[in-house]
Amino acid sequence: MAVAKVWVERAEVFLFRFSLEKPFRIALGTTTEKTEVIVALHDNHGRVGWGEASPSAVILGCTPDSVLAALDHLIPVLLGEDPRRICHLLNKMDRVLLGNAAAKASLDLALHDLVGQIYGEPVWRLLGGSLAEPVETDFTVGIDSPARMAAEAKALVEAGFRAIKVKVGEDPKADVERVRAVREAIGEKVRMWIDANQGWTRAQAVWALTRMSEYGVEFVEQPVAAEDLEGMAWVRKRSPIPIMADESVHSPSDALRALHLEACDYVNIKLMKAGGLLRAKEIATICKHAGIPNMIGGMVESNLSATAAVHFALSEANVVFRDLDLGERPEAKLVARGGSAIHNGFQVLADPEAPGFGFVEIRKDWLKPVRTYTVGERMRSGE
């Protein structure tokens, strides 16, 4: 039976801006609004694959403008090509432009969504998953006063979450009080994780973690600066709480270095850091063979890329921690129907058998057109 020829015929790029109902504060700064870059890849049979880039200047080294500039180089690589050759296309993009993981993630996601539709299969199955079931997730409490953080954590537990992540990384003494207050509010049975987002020195990290250990903290993410892997290894040897690398590990090569230096017990994978699903799978494979479990996490994103992260979690057994409270706020729900949503502390796919990511309706009226690229035609601006 002959296989129909398929190629990427057109690409559209949009901006999606939204303000957070509540400012989200971490050690690296406070987020009050986000601008996402959304990509739609159209094939010659009328199917559309959707992807998202979530820029972060302080973590990913990119802005919406730099993502758009990167896409000017990357999208022409895909036009006229068979989208089913995902590995080949990502390698071509790497040869055209170094780094720019968020921009590449948007295209990786759109390709996977499109290929799933071509084959009539959900992405989680294309990635090797065997069963689609609800994915338990934590919910993150941003930095605030101990009392307000405790109240927020208690409300989240009452809403069904059985794991709470607490942002720390400012003054170590205040951070200890934050952790104590949250633990008292949520009780002993709820899992508690903490994330310092590079906020401590080596000595501060050991001091704080020694005192936080009595509050049943399961692990701490990124206690010291991302580039200080030797320092993180030093902290790990002295900490009573296991260490998870986050900002220190973006790529497969970063994972190899962190594991070689014995800098961490766990690695947090984020699609925006890794450059999409394919590279995320490579990181997970490296960690699995080193005996290092993974978390799947994310940035401040819409429920479009959150759905992609859920598919990844369903496909990868080495992902044992899920930090998928992404795109849950009303203002971030770009996907109106389909995809994934949180119910009682679990991310649940609307239709686990839907092809691709299972998007039924995208709120296109929320999107600002910026670029259009077509085979055989020069780029057109939507502005």
**Cα 107 to Cα 91: distance, rounded to the nearest angstrom:** 12
Is there a catalytic annotation at residue 273?
no
In the prediction, which pLDDT does 227 show?
A: 97
Name the pLDDT band for 377 (thresholds 50, 70, 90). low
Please identify which residue in the block is written with the tokens 């205040």: 174
Q: Which of 270, 273, 281, 333 is catalytic?
A: 270
Is there a catalytic annotation at residue 333?
no
Alpha carbon of residue 120 to chain centroid: 25
In the prediction, which pLDDT does 201 show?
A: 98
Cβ neighbours, 10 Å, residue 288: 15
| Sequence-ordered list of residues with C-beta below 8 angstroms from that of 276, at least 6 positions apart, any chain | 90, 104, 105, 106, 107, 108, 109, 112
SS3 260: helix
Name the pLDDT band for 99 (thresholds 50, 70, 90). very high
Name the pLDDT band for 383 (thresholds 50, 70, 90). very low
Scored b (16 or more CB within 10 A) or e, 349-367 reads: beebebbbbbbeebeeebb
In the prediction, which pLDDT does 1 show?
A: 42
Q: Closest Cα to residue 222, out of 235, 211, 238?
A: 235
Decide if pLDDT at 272 tops 60.
yes
Q: Which of 104, 154, 167, 333 is catalytic?
A: 167
Domains and CATH numbers, the chain: 8-121+364-381 (3.30.390.10), 126-360 (3.20.20.120)
